[in-house]
Amino acid sequence: MKYRAEIDGLRTVAVVPVILFHAGFSVFSGGFVGVDVFFVISGYLITTLLLQDLERGRFSLLDFYERRIRRILPALCLVVALCFPAAWVLMLPDQYRDFSQSVAAVALFVSNVLFWLESGYFAGAAELKPLLHTWSLAVEEQYYVFFPVLLAFLWRFGRRTTVIVLVVLTLASLLSTEWAWRFARTANFYLIPFRIWELLAGSLCAIAMRHREIPGHALLGGLGLAMICAAIVLFDEATPFPSFYALLPVGGSCLVILFARRGTLPATLLSTAPFVGIGLISYSAYLWHQPLFAFARLASPYAPSSYMMLLLSAVSLGLAFLTWRFVEQPFRKRGAPFLSKRRNIFAMAGIAGIALMFAGGIGHLRDGFPQRFDPGLDAVLAIPDEWWRKRAACHVEDAPKPHPIEACITRSEHSDIDVALIGDSHSLAISEVVQADLRARGLTSYAVSYTGCIGLPGFYRVDVDASHQCARHNRETLSFIRDNDIGTVVLTSRFPLYLYGNRFDNGDGGQEPGDPVWIDLVTERDTPAGRTDPARRARVLAAYRSSLLALLEEVNVVLVYPIPEAGWDVVRYAVHETIGGQAGRLEISTGIAAYRDRNAEIVDLFDDLDHPNLRKVDPGRILCGTIVPDRCVNAVGDTVLYRDEDHLSYAGAAFLAPPIGKAVEDLARPEATLPATRPVTGQRNR
């Protein structure tokens, strides 16, 4: 195969935006398309090599897989192995357990399937998963399992038949991804049926160029580069991807491969030393960057600065050079007698795979090795799972569950349900403690929540696919409330997140990880707006008001104001502080100004609501400015009030349960009620 320096240059165009995108630089908001560029390059190069072997009559699956092992496994195994010490030191048990699962999945090249399966609301944030990026390697390796056999079979029937079949497969995959981003968005991102068309596009380029001299064309090659760069700059988290939008980077990559030939300006640019140099080490750079970023974020509760992320980007290139020079090259070039023998390579691959699966399996079975920490931390380490394991049946993440769910009813001395707790995971977080308080007051309650779903009818999530059936869940829940004459509803939801879309930045160095989340009215489903669209925000805010007033015409409502968000993982912060000598005297808090700025519009709206069936409970008054002056408390003494960046722990929920219970009692005994416009917890702290 004739070496093309411009292809290595194209690898640089792929890897640098990916690294800077994951580093958080907004100018590279579409840097994720670098993975799609890699897919095209891989399809092109592998197919070129396979065709060369087929035409020479020396096609061998053993030869093919030996080359793949030499190319992929040594650097991959090194990086994964070196992740273990950092994970052992920096990860909490639930994080280490998830990491261990990903190690085993990497060894089997099914990490894309694992990350798809664990993509629920309470899965760890993508930014904190050191091996998340290996999903793309899994897709490629799955492609290499069947494609050589398919190509060898088709090639017997000639070029024309081969091209027809591959084009049909490409179009089928492309059309499926356009369907899947609407109805199965996570599967669409991770799984090979929706990605294979990108690899096949590269394969078709290889077939088109086989024994056919396609003349270089500077304009078309330059257009290809421009298409890739446009996707990098213009795409962002709101872009449905992959979809027809992916034609921009994929088509651009194909144009570069086909027309950026030696002598054209695009090829000259891509063949310069900086482009070729980074391209040569691009695979190792891709391997290194995500673990470096993830562990930097895990090392401190404070979000790494832009300068730190830029430095780590440079470090990933430095480590990539060393890995390329001392690991990749010796294995690929058979740099020692031991490495020249195929049986040794296959034996080493088998041993390495078994070792990784064993290490991953042990980490999973030992539940993340909680014994790594002082026994005095057991109570804190148990917080992330304390209510989730007990209440998972009461939290819906996909198709709504039929009501009632018996495990979600907390009964008093009578069987009729008096109170329903509705909303999203913030409602789930407080439900068990609130229900215990209500039972002590002689009230039977029912609590079912839906992930990422505001507890009001008429809204849908713009950022997820149609499998998220929030509107249906709310309709069915309200129907159940009506049909069973449930007189009071406690509504708890993360109102500001859905309104603004962005995760919480507490202004003290805590930046909540995770993708943006935003909603719109169901009536606007055919014309979805971006999260920053002022018109969308205005109509959502207005719909908050109208939906609440409509609900108040049917039932009594205890409206829980937004629960203050922390911005950092409070449990991890508490463990960090306790290990640092702060056991029993924690003081973790965030500035009250950030809370007020985040929630001002919501608070003003709720303050203005006036209805005889309404009572209000304001967690901001309870957790902000009272325990710690001018701060919203996250943990104090030995009490940790949050399970993560925004959900309350049992201890945190205990602060809200009595005022919520009192508000429900006030509604049940109208003669004892307070004025409807006054939060039941007293004067506002504004």
User: Which has more confidence, 529 or 254?
Assistant: 254
Please check the confidence at residue 680 and state whether its pLDDT lies above 60. Answer: no
CA–CA separation, 336 vs 326, rounded Å? 12
Residues 367 and 386 in one domain: no
Judged on CB neighbours under 10 Å (0-12, 13-18, 19+), 683 is: exposed
> And the tokens for 238?
């709101």
Report the SS3 class of residue 664: helix
pLDDT average, residue stretch 132-141: 97
Q: Is 681 within a domain?
A: no
Residues 333 and 382 in one domain: no
Selection from 557, 548, 386, 423 nearest residue 497 by Cα:
423
Q: Which distant-in-sequence residues (6+ apart) come within 8 Å of 337 by Cβ?
A: none
Residue that the structure tokens 């009559």 belong to:
57
pLDDT average, residue stretch 252-262: 96
Q: How confident is the model at residue 676 (pLDDT cuts 50, 70, 90)?
A: very low
DSSP-assigned letter for residue 272: S
Residues 345 and 382 in one domain: no
Residues 574 and 625 in one domain: yes
pLDDT computed for residue 675 by the predictor: 43
Q: Is 11 within a domain?
A: yes
How much of the chain exceeds pLDDT 90, in percent? 84
Range of the domain at 582: 378-672
Report the SS3 class of residue 511: strand
CA distances (Å), origin 283, targets 38, 245, 334, 408, 517:
10, 25, 19, 49, 32
Q: How confident is the model at residue 679 (pLDDT cuts 50, 70, 90)?
A: low
Please check the confidence at residue 672 and state whether its pLDDT lies above 60. Answer: no
Report the SS3 class of residue 289: helix
pLDDT computed for residue 681 by the predictor: 47
Residues 341 and 408 in one domain: no
Q: Which distant-in-sequence residues (6+ apart) come within 8 Å of 65 by Cβ?
A: 144
Q: Count of CB atoms within 10 A of residue 608's CB? A: 9
**CA 254 remoteness from chain centre:** 29
Q: Count of CB atoms within 10 A of residue 402's CB? A: 8
CB 500 within 8 A of CB 544: no
Q: How confident is the model at residue 338 (pLDDT cuts 50, 70, 90)?
A: confident
Residue that the structure tokens 């950022």 belong to:
463
CB 540 within 8 A of CB 522: no
Selection from 14, 6, 8, 567 nearest residue 289 by Cα:
14
Report the SS3 class of residue 336: coil
Q: How many domains does the chain have?
A: 2
- Distance in Å from the first CA to the final CA of the chain: 70
CA–CA separation, 678 vs 684, rounded Å? 9
Measured in degrees and rounded to the nearest 5, phi and psi for residue 491 equal -105, 120
pLDDT average, residue stretch 107-130: 86
Q: Is 197 within a domain?
A: yes
pLDDT computed for residue 389 by the predictor: 72
pLDDT computed for residue 579 by the predictor: 82
Identify the sign of the CA torsion 198, 200, 205, 208: negative
Domain end position, chosen among 372, 394, 427: 372
Q: Count of CB atoms within 10 A of residue 471's CB? A: 19
Amino acid 39 reads: F
pLDDT computed for residue 678 by the predictor: 41
> And the tokens for 431?
């439900």
Please check the confidence at residue 486 and state whether its pLDDT lies above 50. Answer: yes
Residues 365 and 383 in one domain: no
Q: How confident is the model at residue 686 (pLDDT cuts 50, 70, 90)?
A: very low
Q: Count of CB atoms within 10 A of residue 277's CB? A: 15
**SS3 per residue for 229-269:** HHHHHHCCCCCCCCCHHHHHHHHHHHHHHHHCCCCCHHHHH
Report the SS3 class of residue 134: helix
Written as one string, the DSSP assignment of 214-234 is PPP-HHHHHHHHHHHHHHHHH
Q: Is 459 within a domain?
A: yes
pLDDT computed for residue 430 by the predictor: 96
Q: Is 683 within a domain?
A: no
Amino acid 674 reads: L
Amino acid 519 reads: I
pLDDT computed for residue 333 by the predictor: 85
Residues 314 and 337 in one domain: yes
Residues 338 and 418 in one domain: no
CB 202 within 8 A of CB 44: yes
HSE value, Cβ hemisphere, 13 Å, CA-based, for 374 = 11
Report the SS3 class of residue 303: coil
CATH of the domain at 432: 3.40.50.1110
CA–CA separation, 314 vs 295, rounded Å? 16
Whether a cis peptide bond, with omega within 30° of 0, leads into 457 is: no
pLDDT average, residue stretch 622-643: 94
Selection from 11, 12, 9, 31 nearest residue 20 by Cα:
31
CB 482 within 8 A of CB 97: no
Q: Is 31 within a domain?
A: yes
Judged on CB neighbours under 10 Å (0-12, 13-18, 19+), 376 is: exposed
Residues 402 and 323 in one domain: no
Amino acid 626 reads: T
Written as one string, the DSSP assignment of 329-378 is HHHHTT-SGGGG-HHHHHHHHHHHHHHHHHHHHHHHHTTT-GGGS-GGGH
Domain end position, chosen among 319, 344, 372: 372
Amino acid 552 reads: L
pLDDT computed for residue 122 by the predictor: 53
Q: Count of CB atoms within 10 A of residue 622's CB? A: 24
Selection from 403, 404, 408, 402 nearest residue 427 by Cα:
408
Report the SS3 class of residue 83: helix
Residues 168 and 305 in one domain: yes
pLDDT computed for residue 120 by the predictor: 62
pLDDT computed for residue 456 by the predictor: 96
pLDDT average, residue stretch 601-613: 96
Q: Is 686 within a domain?
A: no
Q: Is 677 within a domain?
A: no
Domain end position, chosen among 372, 392, 423: 372
CA–CA separation, 320 vs 284, rounded Å? 5
Residues 25 and 100 in one domain: yes
Residues 427 and 498 in one domain: yes
Q: What digits encode the pLDDT tens for the residues 57-97?
A: 999 999 999 999 999 999 999 999 999 999 999 999 999 99
Q: What digits encode the pLDDT tens for the residues 517-569?
A: 999 999 999 888 888 899 999 999 999 999 999 999 999 999 999 999 999 99
